[in-house]
């Protein structure tokens, strides 16, 4: 026969065998499932979430070559966990079940997170996961990828319970095994979530007004001290202080309410409150700020009324605002919202 004819015949038979093997393998391609102990990445009935492709480049994160692969099952190794590797700041292992996780006709392959106890309490992330199988004939990698995998404290493992039929790897003429050795790999693209969690607490108005009275001793020394700050007090689980101080020219007194809890607020915490500042005399309340409203934050902890009352008015005995050089200030706070 003609040498070109023989060459063409050999090439045609080779391609026919390759296409037959390729069809048989992918007609039973792996399907993710959910188990009672972990969740395998979901796919619909048509496996539209699975991407199958070949490429020349080796796995970016992990590769393992298992020699004498057929001996794993014969010596009773039902599960093999590879060494740890890192991807996306997380630690992983490739877990291989040579006899299948459910003891069937398929080899099972999983990706498993390692040391999840060291992760934050509410950790979770999405990832694109790819498992690789080396084709010794084409010198390429068969890649099976799922683009949207969700991992959290109850979903720490993903994989294919039916990764590849056992008979494909038992057949030493298979392109995926050479000298009873197979090469598997993994590549994981972690999509980190920067989720912001906010808790908003709305508080109903109490039937009894939430008030605090502050008695200032030795008021006459305020001219020297310039400022007085009360002890901390608590209203609706928020800590507060009152502040009384002289303006620059010492002619007016200003009064503020200070959110002491804001000292420990992060940048996003805040408290919304309405409040009234009052001055009491012998006959009761003699001066009031009226209703004030403010969002208290770590950068804006105080609010009040400038020039609340003149210093001279306070010291005039005829006004009866001082008793034995003492005055009484009052604040009523209605905490409305805590974030």
pLDDT tens, residue by residue, 19-71: 455 445 444 444 333 332 233 333 333 444 788 889 999 999 999 999 988 88
Mean predicted confidence (pLDDT) in 242-247: 90
- Bigger pLDDT: 126 or 303? 303
pLDDT digit string, tens, across residues 180-233: 899 999 999 998 777 677 788 888 877 788 999 999 999 888 878 889 999 999
Q: Which of 206, 205, 222, 207 is nearest to 329 (CA)?
A: 222
| CA-wise closest residue to 140 among 18, 255, 48 | 18
- Spatial separation of the C-alpha atoms in residues 158 and 41, rounded to whole Å: 6
> How many other C-beta atoms can be found within 10 angstroms of the C-beta atom of residue 94?
25
* Cβ atoms of 95 and 110 closer than 8 Å: yes
Q: What percent of the chain is modeled with pLDDT above 70?
A: 85
Mean pLDDT of 163-170: 84
pLDDT mean over 278-300: 90
Among 126-130, 245-249, 312-316, where is mean pLDDT lowest?
A: 245-249
Residues near 174 by beta carbon (within 8 Å), at least 6 away in sequence: 21, 168
Nearest partner of 181 among 17, 29, 64, 103, judged by Cα:
64
Could you give the count of Cα atoms lying within 13 Å of 19 in the half-sphere of its Cβ?
6
- Collapsing DSSP states into helix, strand and coil, what is residue 270? coil
Give the tens place of pLDDT for each residue, 92-124.
999 999 888 888 888 999 999 998 888 888 888
Give how far the C-alpha of residue 147 lies from the chain's centroid of Cα atoms, to the nearest Å: 20
* pLDDT tens-place string over residues 250-279: 788 999 999 999 999 988 899 999 999 999
């Amino acid at each position: 026969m003609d040498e070109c004819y023989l060459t063409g015949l050999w090439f045609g038979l080779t391609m026919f065998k390759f296409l037959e093997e390729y069809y048989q393998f992918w007609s039973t391609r792996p399907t993710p499932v959910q188990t009672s102990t972990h969740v395998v990445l979901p796919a619909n009935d048509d496996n539209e979430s699975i991407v199958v492709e070949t490429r020349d480049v080796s796995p970016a994160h992990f590769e393992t070559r298992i020699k004498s692969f057929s001996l794993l099952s014969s010596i009773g190794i039902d599960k093999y966990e590879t060494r740890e590797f890192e991807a996306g700041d997380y630690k992983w292992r490739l877990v291989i079940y040579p006899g299948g996780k459910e003891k069937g006709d398929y080899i099972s392959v999983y990706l498993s997170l390692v040391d999840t106890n060291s992760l934050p309490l509410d950790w979770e992330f999405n990832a694109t996961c790819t498992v690789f199988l080396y084709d010794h004939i084409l010198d390429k990698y068969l890649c099976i990828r799922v683009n949207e995998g969700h991992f959290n404290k109850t979903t720490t493992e993903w994989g294919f319970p039916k990764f590849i039929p056992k008979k494909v790897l038992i057949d030493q003429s298979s392109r995926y095994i050479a000298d009873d050795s197979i090469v598997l790999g993994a590549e994981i693209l972690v999509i980190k979530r920067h989720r912001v969690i906010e808790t908003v607490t709305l508080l109903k108005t109490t039937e009894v007004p939430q008030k605090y009275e502050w008695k200032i001793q030795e008021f006459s020394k305020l001219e020297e001290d310039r400022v007085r700050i009360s002890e901390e007090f608590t209203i609706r689980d928020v800590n507060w202080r009152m502040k009384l101080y002289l303006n620059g020219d010492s002619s007016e007194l200003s009064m503020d309410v200070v959110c002491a809890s804001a000292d420990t607020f992060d940048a996003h915490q805040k408290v919304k409150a309405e409040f009234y500042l009052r001055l009491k005399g012998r006959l009761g309340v003699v001066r009031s700020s009226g209703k004030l409203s403010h969002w208290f934050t770590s950068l804006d902890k105080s609010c009040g009324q400038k020039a609340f009352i003149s210093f001279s008015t306070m010291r005039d005995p005829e006004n009866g605002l001082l008793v034995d050089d003492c005055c009484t200030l009052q604040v009523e706070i209605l905490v409305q919202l805590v974030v």
